Structure formats: C-alpha cells, structure tokens
Structure 1
Amino acid sequence: MRTQLLLLAAASASALSVSVAQAQTADDQTAVEEVVVTGTRTAGRSRLDTVSPVDVVDSKALTRQGSTELAQALSTLAPSLNFPRPSAVDGTDSVRPATLRGLAPDQTLVLLNGKRGHAAALVNVNGSVGRGSAAFDLNTIPTAALDRVEILREGAAAQYGSDAIAGVVNLRLREARSGGGATASYGLYNTEVKTARDTDGRKAKDGVTYTASVWQGFGIGEDGYLTVTADWSKRNPTNRSDVSSAFSPGVVTGRYGDAEIESKSLFANGGVPIGETWKAYGWLGYQHRDGESAAFPRLSNNAANILSIYPNGFLPKIVTDIDDYNAAFGAKGEAGAYTIDASFTYGQNDIDYGVKDSLNASYGPTSPTSFKAGSMRYRQAVASLDVTRPVTIAAFAQPSTLAFGAEYRKESYDIVAGEQASWANGGYNGLAAGAQGFPGFRPSNAVDVSRDNYSFYVDLDSQVTDKLDVDVAARFEDYSDFGTKTTGKIAARYDIADGFAVRGAVSTGFRAPALQQQYFTATSTNIISGTATEVGTFPATSPVSAVLGAKALEPEESKNYSLGLVYHRGPFEVTVDAYQIDIDNRIVLSENIQGSATGTATQQAIYTLLQPYGVTTARFFINGVDTTTKGVDVVVRYRLDAAEAGRFDLTLAGNYNETEVTRLPTTNTLSSLPVPPALFARVNVLTFERGTPRTKFVASGDWSKGPWGATLKLTGYGTVLQPNATASLDYWTGRKAVIDLEARRTFADKLTWAVGANNLFDEYPNRTPAAVNSTSGVVGFPNYSPFGFNGRFLYTRLSYNW
C-alpha cells in the first residue's frame, strides 16, 4: 500500500479544483482561476509555473459536497490536510483544529485575502490531535463567502513570518460587481452504529443539519465592487457512545459525537478605484457561533452526584458562545516603478463558556445547575506595507521582481473569571469544588496580557536564464516578549523542456510562542486527605511552574527541504514534491506532574516543591521536543472532453507523511529526582508520530453533460494509532476507504438541485475496545479517526444563481 501511495500521493489533492476545469476547454490553460498570488510576489504566475507548489480549490469544489464546514470540506480535497473531529474534549468540540502534513494546527499560517489571519482564543489542552496548540479556526469563514483557497505546500516563514512551517492557506473572498446566488441544504446521518459492547447495533438518524446562504455582488462606479455574503447553519448533535456496563441490559448514558452548533455569518468584501492606478479595498466579517457539547456522564451512584438534585444521575453540557470578527482596509497602486500595498487588519475571537445540566458538588443540595464559567479573548491588529518593483540585472534573462516591506503586529489575550459558584468550594461533605464538566475560571486565573512585534523582509525573484528561476527571501522579526528572529529561503525552478520542470527549496522558519500558550491557566480545587489543594495548568513563568524548572517559552525553529517535478501536456498534468521538515524546540503541554506526601520518593520530592503553593499537581507549556517529518505529495490530473459522453475531470492524488520524535523535554529540577517524571510521555509522543494517517489518497471524478452533473470521490486513509498509557491498551483506527457521491441537475441554467451521500457505504473506524472504555462506555470510536466516526450522511441541496 505504501508503494502505491508513493506513486499516487499528494498533499493537496483536489486543491487543483475540479470546477476550474468545468469552466474552460481542454485547450485553455490560462483561465484566471489558475493564476495564484500565494508564495510568489511576481504577478501573473499560474499554479503550474510557480517556483513553489501552490494548489487552488475554487468555491464550486468546496460547496459540491455535503459538509458546509470549511475545514471538513478542505480535508476531503487535500490529502495532506486532516480534520479529526474529536469529541468530549471541552471547547475543542466547538473549535476543532485541522492539521497539515501531520504537524500542529498552529504550524500552518492562514491568510485572509493575503493578510495574516488571527488565531482562536481557545488553546487545545485536552486529549485531541493538536493538543497544546492555539490555531486559526477555519470554520469561522463560511464557504459561501469564498472565491477560492490557495494552499502553499512549503515552509514560508521568510516570506510571511511566524507559523508558516508546514505551509500557508490563503482564503480568498469573492470579488463580484454583479450576480449572486442563494443556497439551501438539508442533511442527516442515517447509519447503523455497532460498538464493542453493542455488536448487534442500533439505527441512528441524527445530526440533522440545515444551511442557508446568499451572496450578491454590487457595482460601485465603473470598476468598483462590493460583495456581500450572509450564511446560517444549524447542526444537531450526534451520539456514537458505547453502552454502559453498569446496567443490564446496557444502555447509552453518554453523548459522544458532533457538538450541537448554530452559526450566523456576515461578510462584505469591496474595492474601488482611486484615480487611474490606485485602488482602495477592505472587508468586514462577523460570525456568531453557539455550541453545546457533552462531558462524561455522572451516574446516580457517582460520588460527585447529589441525589436530591439528580436522582438518576446527570450529563453535564458545556456551552460555548463564540464571536469572531475580521476587518481590513488598505490601498494598492503604482508610484512610478513601484507597486505599493498599505493595509491595516484587525481580528478578534471571543469565547464565553457556560455549563448546564451540572452541579457544584461542594455546594450540596443548594448547588445551581447552570453556570457562567468565564471567557477568553484574543485580539490582533496588523499594519503592513508591501512594495514591489522590477529590477534589471544585466546578466539575467528577464527583469527580476524585488519585493520588500514591513509589518507591525499587536496582540492581546484575556481570561475573565466565571461566576463564583462555577469554581468556588462550598464546603459540603468535603466534595470537590467547581462546575462538573468544566470548572469555571477562577479570579487567580484571570490574565490581561499583550505584546507587539515588527518585521522587515526582502524577496528577490529572478529569471536568471530562460530556463532557471531563482527566488531568495529573508525576514527579520523582533518580538517584545522573547527578542529577535531571522529566517531565510532560497527556491529555484528549472524548466528542462516545455511542460517539464524540476523545483526545490531550502528554508528556515519559526513559530513564536502564542500568548495563549504563555499565559493560559486553569485550576480546580480537589479535597485530598481533608485538605483543599489546587491542580491545574499554570503559565511557564508562574512560581508553581518555575519551582519545577520551567522557563519562559522560546520560539520553535524549523528547517524545510523540498524537491519536486512538474509535468503538463494538454489536458494531462502531474506534480510530485518530496519534503523534509526538521523542527527543534517545539512547544508542548507537559504531562501532569503529581506530588504525594505518602507516594514514591519522586512523588514526595515533588510534593515538597509544590506544598508552599498549596498545589499537588501541575502542568505547563514547555519547549524541548524535536521532530523530523518526511513525506511526498503527488497529484495527477486529466481532463477529457468527450462530446457524446460529456466532460470529465479526473484527479488521483495522495500524501505519504511520517513524523519521528527525536528529542524530549527535560528540566534540571525534575531530572535530579530519583526517577524523573516524563514531561512528554508515551501517549503524546505517539500522537505526534501516529496520530494522523501516514498515507492518504483521493481518487475523484467530476462529470458534466448539459444540465446534468455528478461527482464521485474515493478517499483512502492509512491506519491511525489511538495510544494509551500502556501498549496493551493501544488500538488502531484501521485502514479505511470512504466513498462520497453527488448527482446534480440544473434547470433553466439557474436552478440546481443536488442529492448526495458522504460516506455512502457507512464506513466506521475500528471500535474502541470494551477493555479500554470506562464503565459509562462513552467512547464508542477513536477520537483520532481522520474522517470522524459518524457514519453515512445523506443530503440534498438547492442552489439558484443569477
């Protein structure tokens, strides 16, 4: 299978967008959708002529499937991008991260219209792929607002700054002076659920999803435009829990699956000419998202249950109320030989937490059952200046493109405490304090921090000969919290013959420690031997972390190497790109470092260190993990226009990706103990190495003839490990293949009706073994499954364009 996938493999499968081909003839290789702006500052380059691999996914490819989540849509089109869709991991149920090339979610830079996007306020601190990361939330941008997505599959920190280690995803908003469209869809999961304790299975029809969107282009003057998009979606929850062994016969007591989500989005993108050579531009975007996910159930006999409130036990729900904002304005034009782009962008992400159907056991029978648990805020403001001009170098075949610029960025991060009952100790019968399911942020957790940085870059792209193109870039950054960083890149392309070229690059990169990683803190109070003690996550610079040897976080550093080839002839094209990414000093969330007054010598030593702070267990973010990632991407595409049979766009693409952890973190304090505790233990090491599929491929075919159309897609996933503390409890998702099918009919060239199925044959990952599961039987399937674990999704969609 590995050999086959090495021949097929590709990091950004249908990122070569099926719908572009539908809009052009087989001989037309110059459609405007093919021109890219990501990864190059030389105007007019197509994706097959770039020095670095850049793929394009257009809006039709994104919307011609059942999901309306941008992250899920991209994961079905790009083999190197995965979207696991975890459950029972607190806020991460509602803000689910995507990964590129098996790296951390925050090691891919996301741009909006070519400008740096802002991260979510959430930091993933629970047991999901991407644990410890604070990344851009792709699902804050509705697919209806997008014209296309460009994916640069190469390190680009020297060009774009921090985070661009795995690559860059550039989300391009619609730019329309006229026309518009409206779409409504309905779908649900129609599946048979068979778990380890329920092999007979049960029928499920859940996750009912409604969506509606509309967009309209308006002309402003002779050449200006304003495109407005409104989008609404409502997804009901799913449940793929196993049955509880506490009952006979077993019953489902948990809720394990997709969270309930309702989102409302409004985007506007515009531009107007200023004189003959200048244009003013800007955009505004807002999304409000309500989410509700479930924690683990508390059965009636649970020690933390209050029978007078919940005689039959209870299932706590975690509620998220998310507001996301995007705004930008700028001007671009010519001044002599210079092309100048000056802009200001602002982004903000607010998350308010609540808990319902819960209780604070330490309040006893007087406990509330719903709580306001606090909030997190992240804000980012960026002012940038980008300048390009042609430069004639006598020995070179064509004028070079010189680009240079500067950027100033201001970031801030806040944590606001929840209401007192969500975290306080009421003193009832020595029971643990805090709202069950999600203890509220305490006043001691509140933070209000900020930082700024400025950067300068220079980039020279030179056509040295008619066949050789060389691009050299360097960037300097200065952060107010950790100092300076300089990165560089050299990339080249050599055209051996018409339609056949080799390309490669060597670069250095970095990722600055996020404010969320530096300052996130959450603590709870446990009653141990009658004494109230704190356990939780502490900032690396806090006294609690410092006494265990933690230090202020430093940037991650990377070295990227790539070598590839491009071949295209008429309707046929193939790209192959091999890569290696070495990352040093990765930032991770440590294991729980636990002390005990009566435990082992090591536990007693830790207890002595932590006792002055009233803490028994602590974890913190730390540098010190080194990894090496190697892989290959391959994309093969063929377009066929058969008059009688119709038009076909065929893509075969895949990715092989392997990560190895080569160094683990330590601190001098903990290393001196009799048996040093692991700071990054087995589960997390194996999550880095086997938490995403080593092999993934997509074989897709898109057909159209007159008013009819259809898309058939097969996605194959290599097996993924769901690790546990001991090897005997590990299990695998298994090698799986998922088939998606959609059929369409257009009436009067405007109205299109589609019906389809995602996961047509109801494929599931391997079940969670009963021996691994808790008595409550919540976890029916592995959280790390790269295609989720909800089964077959049926949908219908109605679209009208004008």
Structure 2
Amino acid sequence: MTIRRSALLLTISSLALVAAAPAAAQQNQQAIQESNVGEAAAQGDLPDQATIVVTGTRRNDRTVADSPVPVDVISAESLGNTGFTEVNRALTQEVPSFNFPQPSITDGTDVIRPATLRGLGPDQTLVLINGKRRHSAALLNINGSVGRGTSAVDINMIPTIALSRVEVLRDGAAAQYGSDAIAGVINFQLRSAKTGGKATATYGKYYTDVQGVEPYTGVQTNADGSPVLTPDGVLTLNYTGDDRRRRDGRTVTLAGVVAVPVGPEGQLNLAAEWQDRNPTNRTGADPRRQYPLVGTALDPRELTINRFSHRYGDAGTVDYKLWANADYSFGAAELYLFGNLNLRNGQSAGFFRQPLNGNNITSIYPNGFLPLINTKTEDQAGTAGLRGDASGWRWDISLQYGRNMTDFFITNTLNRSFGPSSPTQFDSGGLRYNQTLANLDVSRDLALGFTAKTSLSLGAEYRRERFDIRPGEIGSYANGSFGGSPGAQVFPGFQPTIAGQRVDQPHSRNNKSLYAEIDSDLTDKVNLQGAIRYEDYSDFGSDLNWKIAGRVEPIDGIALRASASTGFRAPSLQQQFFAAASTQNVSGVLLDTVTLPVSNPAAQALGARELKAEQSQSYSAGLVFSAVPRLNVTIDVYQVKIDDRIVVTENLGAFGTAAQNAAVRAILTSAGFPTVTAARFFINGIDTRTRGLDFVTTYRIADFVGGRLNLTGGFNYNKTKITRNAANAGSVSTIPGLILFGRQESLRLEQGQPRTKINASIDFERQWFGATLRATRYGKVLAAGADRFNDVNLDAKTITDLELRFKPLGDNLSLALGGNNIFDVYPTKLLTGRGIDPDTGLARNYSANNYFLPFSSFSPFGFNGRYLYGRATISF
C-alpha cells in the first residue's frame, strides 16, 4: 500500500510540474451561470438542462443535461417563493432526497438544526460556498434527534437573498472533494451581479388549531378532595373537546442585497439579513400530580397551576447575517473575495421541573420551573483567491478561514446540590471550531485526437482544523453539599476535567491531499469521467479514493448514465474530543449522563477505541429523457455502503436491565465516576447499506393563458439497513446481553426519516401576477421507543403551500401573500393512557410524557401547523 501511495504522489507531482503555471477554474463560469439563472428567473422559468453547472466537474462547459451524475439546480428566485426564510426549509420543498426535521428539547440542536441528503447523516454531505469547502458548526448533535452524534454545516447561516443558485450533486464525490462527500455535495453560489439589488420584508405567524391537543377547564376530584385518576394513574382533567388554538411563532425578516461595479469587469455584492423568530409551543396539558398530597386530598394549587408548563416547538431566535462576494480583474488574473459575519441568539427550553421533582428547591421555585437554554452562536469566514488563464491552463489558488462558536447560558434554573442558596442562572461554557484551508487547482483542455474534448484537472489542498471546549463557571457544574444532581439543571456546564483528564485543551489536526480528475467526451454522445484523491491526516492516517462516471446518449434526447466510487468521512474533532455531563430523558426518566472522549480511561474501560474513518462504496445508474421539447425527466437508482460508521453508544448504565446497569455503574465507579448513572462515547459501531431511487421531472409551457407555466415533480425512495453491529470490547464484553448501539438508535437510523418523499409544484407567471402551488408528501416514519410497545408509526402526510404574487406598480415592487401547510396538517399524535404490550399481551401505560409532548420530534415536517405570511420586495 505504501508503494502504491508513493507512486501516486510521484505521478501527481510530476503532472503538476508539467503544468508549470498552476491553473483550474471551478468558478470561472460563475458570472455566465449567474446570468443564465437570472434571466430564467426573470422570465418565470426555472434553470433548465442547458444550465452550466460547476459542481461534480471542473470543466467549464458542463451542463445539467450532459452531466454523468445527477445535479439539481435551484434558483434563488425559486427558494424565495415561500414564507420560510430559512434555506433548509426552502430546500426541503425543492429536493426530494433532502430532509430537514425540526426537533425540540434537544439542547443546542433546537437552534442549530441539521439536514440530511439521501437519508444519510448530516455530516456525510459536503457543503461548498462558491465551490470552496465550508466549515462545520462547533455544536455536536448529541441528543435524541436525526443526526445524533454528528457535527454538520449550519446551512441556515446562509441568507437566501445572498444566493444566485444552489447546486445539489446527488452522488458520492469524495474522490473529487475529499472527506464528507458520501451522500453528495451542496454548492451554494453567491450572487455576483454587476449592478442592481433588492430589499425584502417578510412577516409571518402560525395560525393553527393543534390537532388532538385540548384545553381543559379543571381537575376532577372526589367528594373528599382526593384525585380522580385515569387508568394509567394520572389526574383526570376536564377537557373541552376542542383543539387548542395557537397564534405564535411570529417571524419578521428584513433582507437586502446591493451590487456595486468594481472596475470595468468586477463586482461587489453585499447581502444582509435580520430575522426575529418568536418561539412556538405545541405542548399538551400535563396531567401528572405537581404537588405532594395533603393527606389524601389534592393540594389546592393543583386546581390552579398552569398545566401547559412545557415549551415544545421551535426555539426563539434572532439572526444577524452579513455576506459579501466580490471579484476584480486585472490583466490575465482575477482576484476574488467572499465571506460572512453571522450572529444568532437563541432560546430553547428543557423539561419542566415539577414542584415535587427531587431536583427542585421549593424555596426558590415553589411552583416548579422551566429551565431555559440561551445560546449565542458566532460564525465568521473569509476566502481570498486568484484565478486566471496562462498558456492554456486555468488556475485557481485560494486561502480561507472559518470559525464557529456557540456559548450556552442557562437561566431560570438552579444547581440542586447548592441547596436554597443556589444561583438561578449560569454560564455553562461553549464550543469552538475553526478551519484554515489552502487550495490549489489547475486544469486545461487536452488536444487528444481520439476524443472530441478532454479536460485534465489537478489539485492540492492543505486543511487545518481546531476544536476546543470553553469550561463553564464553577457553579454550573460543581457538586455541592446538599445532594441531588450537580450542575445547572437541564445543561450542566462543561467541566475542565473529567476523570482526571483535561478536556478543555485545544485539539487540532492537519490534512494534506492531492487529486487528479479527467473528464473526456470520447464522442459527442459518450462521456467518461474519472478522479482519484489521496488524503493524509495527522491524527488517523491516510486514505485513497477513486471515482468513475460515464454517460452515453444512443438516441437524441435519451441518455444513460452511471457512476461508481469509493469515499470516506474522517472522524470529526468533535466526535473525538467532545466531553460533557448532561441530564438526559430516557423513557421518561431524567438521568445524569456523561459523554466521554474515546481517549478517556473510563470510556476505554467500557470498550472505547481510537476512531477511524468511515469508508463508503457508492454506485448509481440513471436515465435522462429530454426528447420531448420543454420536458425533462431523470431517473436514478443508487446504493451507498458505509463501513465503520461512527455512532454514539447507548446511555450505558441506563437503558439495560437492572443487572446490566449495575455492572456498567460498577465499571464507572472503579474508573472515578461514582455519582454518574450513565455514560456514552463514540465508536465505529455499524456498517450500513442505503438503497434508493430519485425521480425528477420538469415541464415548461411557454404560453399558457398568456403567461408561463412550470410544472415540476420529484420522488425519492430511500431505505437504510444496518448490516453489521460491532462486537463489544473491554469490560462491557463480559456483561451478558449488553449492546453498545441498541434497538432504539438502530431503528431511528433505519426508519427515523421518511422512506418516500414526493415534491410537486406549479409555478405560473403572467405580467403583474404570479402564483406557486406546492405539495410535499412525506412517507411513513417510525418514532422508535425503548421497545415495541413504545414505537409509534407516523403516518404519511401531505403538506400544501400556496403563494400569490402581485406587481401593482411594475417590476420594481412585488407583493406576496401565502401560506405554508395551508390545510393545517399535523403528524400522528403520540399515544397516551393504557395499551396492550405486543410482546407480553399485558396492559401497560404509555409514557406520561406523551400527554405534554404530543408529537414526535422525528416528524419530517415538524409539528407547528399552518403558517401565514406576507412579503414585500423592492427591486432596483
């Protein structure tokens, strides 16, 4: 293997020397593409098969129609025709294989929500800005949501108004772009117009009746004041029989972009956005007893306490976004710059602590308390580069830096172990991540007599990453003398030391890579593409990946395409070094859980080992049909196998039998964790296989009742299966029946996202009037519980959106009115009360949490209901 890698290095180095003048221009056609998309959008058309793409190839003349792999191109105009101003929510309406769940009560993930492509992990999709790798968020999604255990790019940091288009490559591309490009690549192209601009103001709010969640008028009691209990043991409430009406989630978004010419050919585009989103709350009434009994009677306060005490829905956020994109030509070269400054303040809630909860202090909160997690996320990035042409070579050299920081401030809380003198707010510390990247790309067209056209691309990249944890103030994690759970309730602060190991030290690594890519039109009807990439990481070693793709068009308008590739995803620094103590809800019970780095002695005692890269093999084959004018149809089938997939273990010591939990806790005690009830860590725990099908079609009618009509449709089928579970190691291997990655997490990975999804839309434009009608059907999802009794199948649901646009004073002013989820559809409600256990045939109680958390966070479209909005846009 060493000989092969050395030969590869020598070959690529020799080719680079022959190049003499470094050159590659992945972005050389950006201005042409901007014009292409901009004109189409202005005419009411979507980007079509003639649109030039710069994702998935380094040629400068590749179009959607002749790409050997599937690439979707979505214009910023299309993304903007919705009430949601978050890019992730807009993309899920456009791309069938793109999913954006909206979890709640998942700490920082409530505010920084990850998205997925082709049902894989959020960190298995590579995100680019103007063709350059984007840095990930510092946050690790560690709680029970889709993407548990991943750190991904915060796509919602990107304002729609700053974009010209988005290109979504639905194919493995690690050989071309490096780590993370297993599911595909999403390339956000920033606006690069020479003049003009626009400003928009959007106001929206949820107007909804929460299906199956009822108001109540009181609590039933017997004549002696004792409570009337339901069969599952909670208080009997007097429900009204009506759905609870909610008017919340008010969102105001102000955005603008302006283009300024720089010299004869250059430009500067400045885009800014401010968004203020109020929280939503879809909690149900909590029928549990809140206060101790007075003898056998209810405490009188039970009759008056507000039982809608939780906050379950979207977090409240305020976003400030400033993005810039510029270029300036001088001589044969062009200087380009782009970057961003972002700030997001968010607030989400944890579980309500009842007055009689053992971690409450009644002298501080006599009626219980709802702890609040306040997050402050800062994100900055800048890229500078030069590109040009020299002696037939196109070259591009760039340097970039990106940083993401999230800090946690916990309010309306306490540290139980401090007793009545506990503070009620804490600085719980924060997470830091940054990336520095230097990149050199070169490419040229080769004059090969036996091909119609051939392009060769070579490149080298150096990347340095750093991750560190900022400890919280001492009170946020310290263990006082009064007993109970130590640390700030809901989010104990990051500790500087865990089990004698310092975890607040910065951790860094570097990566060097070389690649070569060839793209050849053997004839006008046959294309062949190949790539190879060598990566060398300072922390876990090297990797070599390849890709081959091809397209043949035997009949005009009918083409076949296919690809095969290997890929990898390096373990993130967050997965290797994240360490924290937290309170987790496990089957309705709050448990103190510690997340350990794989190098921690306690984690190694439980079977942790040094992480290695995930390895993938991807295959796809497709059909492209464009023989009928204005009609385009693509069908692609795919398979992605991933070995050594990195996952978080179960909460060991909490989820097993009593004997298993006792054995785990004995290991933790001997390792220095006598007060911790559960622990978890990262492992290369499973192998998976994902199979699916993508169907995308567009049809354009140039003259429909005097206007233009665009019809689009898409379908995705996706199935993931775990093909291997890693064997237990270390001391836990002696505990009979203990599974590191168990049933609930396995089912969430296999069935926690919809197996099918359908997107359909109608866009109509005529003079001063426009309309968009969208329907998105999400297939079934399994909200997995600890056992079959607690599993909930979320039924397939269809969400319908409608927007009407008007230009009362010409093209310079546009007004829009619309609604998302106009029919007020909710996901399947979770079961409450008593049911029959399918395994034992005996009656059991469903979790009491289902009363006040009535919908699953695994709903692929959230659970907020109908959203109505208005938008005004001024163009200049």
Q: Does structure 1 conserve the Cα–Cα contact (< 8 Å) formed by 2:826 and 2:865?
A: yes
Matched with 1:502 is 560
> What is the rounded CA distance, in whole Å, between the counterparts of 2:94 and 2:520 in structure 1?
33
Say which is worse superposed, 669-678 or 78-87, in terms of deviation. Answer: 669-678
- 2:249 counterpart (197, 203, 207): 207
- TM, length-normalised to structure 2: 0.86
> What is the rounded CA distance, in whole Å, between the counterparts of 1:775 and 1:165 in structure 2?
37
Matched with 1:691 is 752
Q: Does structure 2 conserve the Cα–Cα contact (< 8 Å) formed by 1:740 and 1:758?
A: yes
> What is the rounded CA distance, in whole Å, between the counterparts of 1:655 and 1:113 in structure 2?
27
Change (3 A) 1:18 1:387: closer
Q: 1:547-585: per-residue Cα shift (whole Å, max 9, x none)?
A: 122111000000000000111132111011110001110
How far 1:775 moved relative to its partner? Answer: 5.3
- 1:279 counterpart (319, 322, 334): 334
Say which is worse superposed, 444-453 or 222-231, in terms of deviation. Answer: 444-453
AA of the residue aligned to 1:754: A
> What is the rounded CA distance, in whole Å, between the counterparts of 2:244 and 2:450 in structure 1?
73
- TM, length-normalised to structure 1: 0.94
Say which is worse superposed, 105-114 or 465-474, in terms of deviation. Answer: 465-474
- 1:682 counterpart (743, 749, 753): 743
Q: After TM superposition, list the pairs within 5 Å mapping 1:424-439 onto structure 2.
A: 424-428=478-482, 430-439=483-492
Change (3 A) 1:26 1:606: closer
AA of the residue aligned to 1:178: T
Relative contact order, higher structure (CA 8 A, sep 6+): 1
Q: Does structure 2 conserve the Cα–Cα contact (< 8 Å) formed by 1:760 and 1:793?
A: yes
> What is the rounded CA distance, in whole Å, between the counterparts of 1:469 and 1:696 in structure 2?
31
Count of aligned pairs? 775
Q: After TM superposition, list the pairs within 5 Å mapping 1:232-251 onto structure 2.
A: 232-246=274-288, 251=307
* SS of structure 1 residue aligned to 2:93: helix
1:220 partnered with 2:266: no
- 1:657 counterpart (718, 722, 726): 718
- 2:636 counterpart (535, 554, 577): 577
Matched with 2:61 is 44
* SS of structure 2 residue aligned to 1:593: coil
Q: 1:82-137: per-residue Cα shift (whole Å, max 9, x none)?
A: 11100000000000000111110000000011000000000111000100011011
Q: Does structure 2 conserve the Cα–Cα contact (< 8 Å) formed by 1:540 and 1:621?
A: yes
How far 1:361 moved relative to its partner? Answer: 1.0
* SS of structure 1 residue aligned to 2:873: strand
Q: Does structure 2 conserve the Cα–Cα contact (< 8 Å) formed by 1:26 and 1:571?
A: no
> What is the rounded CA distance, in whole Å, between the counterparts of 1:436 and 1:606 in structure 2?
22
> What is the rounded CA distance, in whole Å, between the counterparts of 1:178 and 1:641 in structure 2?
28
AA of the residue aligned to 2:857: N
> What is the rounded CA distance, in whole Å, between the counterparts of 2:422 and 2:255 in structure 1?
42
Q: Does structure 1 conserve the Cα–Cα contact (< 8 Å) formed by 2:597 and 2:682?
A: yes
> What is the rounded CA distance, in whole Å, between the counterparts of 1:77 and 1:536 in structure 2?
39
1:782 partnered with 2:856: yes
How far 1:644 moved relative to its partner? Answer: 3.2
Change (3 A) 1:704 1:503: same
1:143 partnered with 2:160: yes
Q: Does structure 2 conserve the Cα–Cα contact (< 8 Å) formed by 1:740 and 1:757?
A: yes
Q: Does structure 2 conserve the Cα–Cα contact (< 8 Å) formed by 1:101 and 1:657?
A: yes
Matched with 2:435 is 380
Q: After TM superposition, list the pairs within 5 Å mapping 1:367-766 onto structure 2.
A: 367-396=422-451, 398-428=452-482, 430-444=483-497, 445-523=503-581, 535-568=593-626, 569-594=628-653, 600=659, 603-604=662-663, 607-608=666-667, 610-615=669-674, 616=676, 617-642=678-703, 644-670=705-731, 672-746=733-807, 747-766=809-828
How far 1:392 moved relative to its partner? Answer: 2.3
- 2:133 counterpart (100, 116, 123): 116
How far 1:370 moved relative to its partner? Answer: 0.9
* SS of structure 2 residue aligned to 1:334: strand
1:268 partnered with 2:327: no
1:134 partnered with 2:151: yes
Change (3 A) 1:605 1:72: closer
Q: Does structure 2 conserve the Cα–Cα contact (< 8 Å) formed by 1:195 and 1:768?
A: no
Matched with 1:61 is 78
Matched with 1:296 is 351
* SS of structure 2 residue aligned to 1:626: strand
Matched with 2:9 is none
> What is the rounded CA distance, in whole Å, between the counterparts of 2:49 and 2:333 in structure 1?
26
How far 1:773 moved relative to its partner? Answer: 3.9
> What is the rounded CA distance, in whole Å, between the counterparts of 1:211 and 1:125 in structure 2?
30
Say which is worse superposed, 151-160 or 587-596, in terms of deviation. Answer: 587-596
> What is the rounded CA distance, in whole Å, between the counterparts of 2:46 and 2:762 in structure 1?
19
How far 1:49 moved relative to its partner? Answer: 1.4
> What is the rounded CA distance, in whole Å, between the counterparts of 1:597 and 1:704 in structure 2?
59
Say which is worse superposed, 190-199 or 259-268, in terms of deviation. Answer: 190-199
Q: Does structure 2 conserve the Cα–Cα contact (< 8 Å) formed by 1:132 and 1:589?
A: yes
AA of the residue aligned to 1:435: A
Change (3 A) 1:27 1:553: closer
RMSD: 2.2
Matched with 1:355 is 410
> What is the rounded CA distance, in whole Å, between the counterparts of 1:787 and 1:110 in structure 2?
22
* SS of structure 1 residue aligned to 2:209: strand
Change (3 A) 1:22 1:420: closer
Q: Quick one: percent identity of the two aligned structures?
A: 45
AA of the residue aligned to 1:352: D
How far 1:426 moved relative to its partner? Answer: 1.8
Change (3 A) 1:222 1:423: same
How far 1:421 moved relative to its partner? Answer: 1.0
* SS of structure 1 residue aligned to 2:852: coil
> What is the rounded CA distance, in whole Å, between the counterparts of 1:227 and 1:79 in structure 2?
31
* SS of structure 1 residue aligned to 2:506: strand
Q: Which blocks of at least 5 consecutive residues in structure 1 are unaligned?
A: 1-16, 527-532
> What is the rounded CA distance, in whole Å, between the counterparts of 1:525 and 1:297 in structure 2?
13
Q: 1:641-671: per-residue Cα shift (whole Å, max 9, x none)?
A: 2253421000111101111111112233256
How far 1:636 moved relative to its partner? Answer: 1.2
AA of the residue aligned to 1:437: V
**Structure whose CA Rg is larger:** 2
Q: 1:17-50: per-residue Cα shift (whole Å, max 9, x none)?
A: 998755459899686xx11100011112211111
* SS of structure 2 residue aligned to 1:604: helix
- 1:339 counterpart (381, 391, 394): 394
Change (3 A) 1:776 1:734: closer
Change (3 A) 1:20 1:290: same
Change (3 A) 1:548 1:465: same
1:195 partnered with 2:212: yes
How far 1:609 moved relative to its partner? Answer: 6.1
Q: Does structure 2 conserve the Cα–Cα contact (< 8 Å) formed by 1:492 and 1:504?
A: yes
* SS of structure 2 residue aligned to 1:594: coil
Q: Any runs of at least 4 consecutive aligned residues in structure 1 with deviations exceeding 6 A, and if so which?
A: 17-20, 25-31, 595-598
Q: Does structure 2 conserve the Cα–Cα contact (< 8 Å) formed by 1:645 and 1:705?
A: yes
> What is the rounded CA distance, in whole Å, between the counterparts of 2:738 and 2:49 in structure 1?
59
Q: Does structure 2 conserve the Cα–Cα contact (< 8 Å) formed by 1:255 and 1:778?
A: no
